[in-house]
């Protein structure tokens, strides 16, 4: 593997979240992640145990999404899913905020929603998906502040299942807001090496990529 490929690979959460993803496809993603030293394999929580087994001893993390892709579930449901995923082997949890609550100014509710998942996920870290394509600049900044206050480790741009994905502009804005206190994950629409490098240059610490092999 070329040095640049190795460098980009270390940023990538190799992601397969399609509704029709099969166990054989998930296993293939795990084999690719082991071979190319991706940071993690990111899956729906039903695949947590499978991925954890497939990646055992590789150094590649198991990442699961929670409240995905809408974020409009009961807080208790999100927390339960997170706890169950960690019990099944997840090292990292990517949760979706309650976007409607944020947009109507129920900041306390949004913060407590995140905090409940952070608590339920221990010792796994939590990345908070804010779905930037649906938010104003101030809403993006507020979502970052709430994630930080609630104890999250990352803020993340997008699910990849809404009307838009990651942009370098949003990554820069989020990095400006959280500084070095939290990390930033860019996700959604990153399909080329050029796009990956652009996000890293803008301040992304991690990349959510379903086309990981193409990016390499």
Catalytic positions, please?
94, 156, 185
3-state secondary structure the chain: CCHHHHHHHCCEEEEECCCCCCHHHHHHHHHHHHHHCCCEEEEEHHHHHHHHHHHCCCCCEEEEEECCCCCCCCHHHHHHHHHHHHHCCCCEEEEECCHHHHHCCCHHHHHHHHHHHHHHHCCCEEEEECCHHHCCHHHHHHHHHHHHHCCCCEEECCCCCCCCCCCHHHHHHHHHHHCCCCEEEEECCCCCHHHHHHHHHHCCCEEEECCHHHHC
Q: Taking a C-beta distance cutoff of 8 angstroms, is the pair 117, 78 a contact?
A: yes
Q: Is the dihedral of CA 29, 41, 18, 122 positive or negative?
A: positive
Give residue for tokens 């979240």.
17
Q: Taking a C-beta distance cutoff of 8 angstroms, is the pair 187, 157 a contact?
A: yes
Both tokens of residue 133?
Answer: 């394509």
């Amino acid at each position: 593997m070329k040095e640049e490929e190795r460098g980009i690979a270390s940023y990538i959460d190799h992601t397969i979240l399609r509704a029709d993803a099969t166990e054989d496809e998930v296993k293939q993603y795990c084999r690719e992640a082991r071979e190319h030293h991706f940071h993690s394999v990111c899956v729906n929580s039903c695949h947590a145990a499978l991925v954890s087994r497939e990646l055992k001893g590789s150094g590649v993390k198991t990442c699961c999404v929670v409240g995905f892709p809408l974020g409009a579930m009961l807080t208790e449901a999100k927390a339960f899913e997170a706890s169950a995923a960690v019990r099944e082997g997840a090292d990292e949890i990517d949760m979706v905020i309650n976007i409607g609550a944020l947009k109507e100014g129920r900041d306390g509710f949004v913060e407590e929603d995140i905090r409940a998942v952070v608590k339920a996920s221990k010792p796994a870290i939590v990345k908070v998906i804010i779905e930037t394509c649906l938010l104003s600049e101030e809403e993006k900044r507020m979502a970052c502040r709430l994630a930080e206050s609630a104890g999250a480790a990352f803020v993340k741009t997008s699910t990849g299942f809404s009307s838009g994905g990651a942009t370098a502009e949003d990554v820069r804005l989020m990095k400006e807001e959280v500084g070095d206190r939290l990390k930033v994950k860019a996700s959604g629409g990153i399909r080329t090496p050029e796009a990956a490098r652009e996000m890293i240059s803008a301040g992304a610490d991690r990349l959510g990529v379903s086309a990981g092999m193409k990016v390499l």
